[in-house]
Chains A and B, each alone.
Chain A
Amino acid sequence: MTNAIETNQLRKVFGDYAAVKGLTLQVKQGEVFGFLGPNGAGKTTSMKMLLGLIGPTSGEASLLSQPIGNREAMRRVGFLPEHFRFQEWLTADEFMLLHGQLLGMKQDDLRQRRDELLERVGLTPFRKKHLRTFSKGMLQRVGLAQALLNRPALVFLDEPTSGLDPVGRRLVRDVIREVRVQGTAIFLNSHLLSEIEVTCDRVAFIQHGEVVRVLELASLSSDQTSVTIRVSDLAPESLNGLSQWGREIQRDGEFVHMIIASDKVLPEVTRYLVSQKAEVYSITPNRMSLEDIFIETVGKDGGL
């Protein structure tokens, strides 16, 4: 299967400052790829290069098997820029029509798609209103709808939830899941760890214009799970017995923390505790959080 995005040593220099030092990555078709890094790490510049807005100083890249800037490829690409700005004197309806026309969509399909998407992002009641009257959250929603008009094979979202309230953030997450199911690849720029954690299949950490680590997020839950057990009447020797399933066992009142290799051992741990006549109230596995890995990767100074 060909990749949705492929880059090889993509580099952008502004004056004597290298904003992106040498970006090499692959995004598979149909996956949600998180691009995570501190502010100023080169995320937006990278995205703009992939979209053909900024010309790379050197290196190469392809989108949907076409070189960047190819118009046939752009017909199947959607984009929601950061701090989304647009023709504020248009109504939401007109705005969607304009972008659909620029995508070369057929009139009937466009109207149907516009209605569907405005409904999906909850803007149907405001479709005749001018965009200048919209709140930041509403603009972000109409921007997202615009990015999905052409049923894209690849969507770029640059900080899509910045400035959104919790309801709006939830909506963006849900929409990302829905389009993923339809086989759309998503390239998501974010500095919000929690957002990446719940939506992405893979994540690349970017720092000082370079990818420092690429991680499968699915692997986070199975390796290296920490678990918190709430238990009473646990004898000290029974506590020591837990070491056969895990390490770094700590007791804190009625809470026991330990790190296990896999959550597959949890049923055994439960049976053991019951057999030791301990009173078990809860067993909670905690994935090693992306935040822990992020801090470990970029350092506590956030890569400044």
Chain B
Amino acid sequence: MSAITIIARLTFREAIRRRIMLAGLVLGIAFVIIYSIGTHFIFEQIAADTAANMPSQMTANILKAESTNAFMMMGLYAATFLSIAMAALLGADTLAGEINSGTIQTIATKPIRRADIVLGKWLGFTGLLGLYVLLLCGGIVLSTFIQSGYIPQNLLIGLGLIYSESVLIMTITLMLSSAFPALATGGIVFGLYGLAFIGGWVEQFGALLQNDTAIKVGIITSLLIPSESLWRRAAFEMQAPITGSFGSPFTTTSVPSPLMMGYAFLYLIVVLVIAVRIFQSRDL
């Protein structure tokens, strides 16, 4: 078994033993249940209203699909936020905490590369986040499908992008955690996330009002931290045509280009390499 695999398995086991998995599972299920209960009544109402008031069956169907999609996107947006919070929480304490407590010393003096420690943890967290995103987003999509028979377009691409966003945030957290204490790491990550979020909004409004400067501000923010652009591309991929034309945080009017997606993935790899480099050169 390679050192990376050993560390990745250890990371997984730690999440189980320290009940992080359990907490994520219980709250994730609660999240999906509340979404399901809420949308159950809303969808019922929509079905009744459209059936009574719409001139034709076709208009009724379009409106139903549009509104179902809007609620699903709202749920997915909340799920994305929770995944990001989970990503930051998992990554913040890991290297910083083990350096601080000295736990890392017996690990780092084994015949393994320091890079193996960082990459092993990264791999472990990537797996954990995969399960978490699958539980939250999968739960929402499945619940929507069972209730209304609706499946959004480009579902897998959309979920993949949401997952990538959480992995990106986790990677940034891991990098910061190799240099700063846990609390500072958490603070910086949420600050950066806030920056990306507000930058995204500025770009959205810029697009609605056709203001180029606002759009540019958004793009520059996305270059600094491309997390929000991954969500907006995911929303664009999955959203229904009419809903997408209204500006809201759950939808996208200014669509991040495939080039921006490529940039986001490159960014992720570079951040991971920097995380390894910092950890390799620091005193433990």
Residues of A within 8 A of B (CB): 48, 51-55, 71-72, 74-75, 77, 79, 81, 83-87, 89-90, 98-99, 101-104, 143, 146
Contact at A79–B113, with CB atoms within 8 Å? no
CA distance A79 to B109 in the complex (A): 8
The residue of chain A having its C-beta at the shortest distance from the C-beta of B14 within the complex is A89
| B106 neighbours in A (Cβ, 8 Å) | 79, 81, 84, 86, 99, 143, 146
Given contacts A53-B283, A53-B284, A89-B14, contact A102 B110 (CB under 8 A): yes
Q: Give chain B interface residues in 66-85, CB to chain A under 8 Å.
A: none
Question: Which one of B10, B14, B111, B281 contacts A75 once the chains associate, using CB atoms below 8 Å?
Answer: B111
CA distance A34 to B156 in the complex (A): 62
B108 to chain A, nearest CB (A): 6
Contact at A81–B105, with CB atoms within 8 Å? yes
| A143 neighbours in B (Cβ, 8 Å) | 106
Please report whether the interface of chain B is mostly helix, strand, loop or mixed according to DSSP. Answer: helix
CA distance A104 to B116 in the complex (A): 14
B242 to chain A, nearest CB (A): 51
Is residue B102 within 8 Å, beta carbon to beta carbon, of the partner chain? yes
Given contacts A55-B283, A72-B111, A79-B106, contact A87 B10 (CB under 8 A): yes
A239 to chain B, nearest CB (A): 58
CA distance A74 to B110 in the complex (A): 6
| B110 neighbours in A (Cβ, 8 Å) | 74, 99, 102-103
CA distance A181 to B163 in the complex (A): 56
Taking A53-B284, A79-B106, A102-B111 as given, write out 6 further A-B residue pairs in contact, using a Cβ cutoff of 8 Å, ordered by the A residue number.
A51-B109, A54-B284, A79-B109, A102-B110, A103-B110, A146-B106
Is residue B6 within 8 Å, beta carbon to beta carbon, of the partner chain? yes
Q: Give chain B interface residues in 102-129, CB to chain A under 8 Å.
A: 102-103, 105-113
| A83 neighbours in B (Cβ, 8 Å) | 102
Is residue B101 within 8 Å, beta carbon to beta carbon, of the partner chain? yes
The 8 lowest CB-CB distance pairs between A and B, nearest first, are A89-B17, A102-B110, A74-B111, A75-B111, A71-B111, A54-B283, A53-B284, A85-B102
The residue of chain A having its C-beta at the shortest distance from the C-beta of B10 within the complex is A98
Contact at B109–A74, with CB atoms within 8 Å? yes
Given contacts A53-B105, A71-B113, A79-B109, contact A87 B14 (CB under 8 A): yes
Question: Which one of B3, B18, B283 contacts A89 once the chains associate, using CB atoms below 8 Å?
Answer: B18
| A103 neighbours in B (Cβ, 8 Å) | 110-111
Contact at B105–A102, with CB atoms within 8 Å? no
A-B contact pairs, 13 of them (CB 8 A): A48-B284, A53-B109, A54-B283, A71-B112, A72-B111, A81-B105, A85-B101, A85-B103, A87-B10, A90-B13, A98-B6, A99-B110, A143-B106
- With an 8 Å Cβ cutoff, the count of chain B residues facing the other chain is 23
The residue of chain A having its C-beta at the shortest distance from the C-beta of B1 within the complex is A101
| A51 neighbours in B (Cβ, 8 Å) | 109
Residues of B within 8 A of A (CB): 1, 3, 6, 10, 13-14, 17-18, 101-103, 105-113, 281, 283-284
Given contacts A53-B108, A81-B102, contact A101 B284 (CB under 8 A): no
The residue of chain A having its C-beta at the shortest distance from the C-beta of B16 within the complex is A89
| B112 neighbours in A (Cβ, 8 Å) | 71, 102
| A75 neighbours in B (Cβ, 8 Å) | 111
| A79 neighbours in B (Cβ, 8 Å) | 105-106, 109
Question: Which one of B6, B103, B111, B283 contacts A86 once the chains associate, using CB atoms below 8 Å?
Answer: B103
| A55 neighbours in B (Cβ, 8 Å) | 281, 283
CA distance A146 to B109 in the complex (A): 12
Question: Which one of A77, A84, A85, A87 contacts B109 once the chains associate, using CB atoms below 8 Å?
Answer: A77
| A86 neighbours in B (Cβ, 8 Å) | 103, 106
A156 to chain B, nearest CB (A): 8
Q: Name the residue in B105, B107, B283 with the highest tally of chain A Cβ atoms < 10 Å from its Cβ.
A: B105
CA distance A210 to B10 in the complex (A): 40
B257 to chain A, nearest CB (A): 43
| A81 neighbours in B (Cβ, 8 Å) | 102, 105-106
The residue of chain A having its C-beta at the shortest distance from the C-beta of B104 within the complex is A53
CA distance A104 to B5 in the complex (A): 12
The residue of chain A having its C-beta at the shortest distance from the C-beta of B102 within the complex is A85
A191 to chain B, nearest CB (A): 18
| A89 neighbours in B (Cβ, 8 Å) | 13-14, 17-18
The residue of chain B having its C-beta at the shortest distance from the C-beta of A86 within the complex is B103
B82 to chain A, nearest CB (A): 24
The residue of chain A having its C-beta at the shortest distance from the C-beta of B117 within the complex is A102
B276 to chain A, nearest CB (A): 16
A177 to chain B, nearest CB (A): 23
CA distance A72 to B112 in the complex (A): 9
CA distance A3 to B109 in the complex (A): 20
| A104 neighbours in B (Cβ, 8 Å) | 111
The residue of chain A having its C-beta at the shortest distance from the C-beta of B15 within the complex is A89
Q: Name the residue in B101, B103, B106, B281 with the highest tally of chain A Cβ atoms < 10 Å from its Cβ.
A: B106
The residue of chain B having its C-beta at the shortest distance from the C-beta of A95 within the complex is B106
CA distance A102 to B105 in the complex (A): 13
| A72 neighbours in B (Cβ, 8 Å) | 111
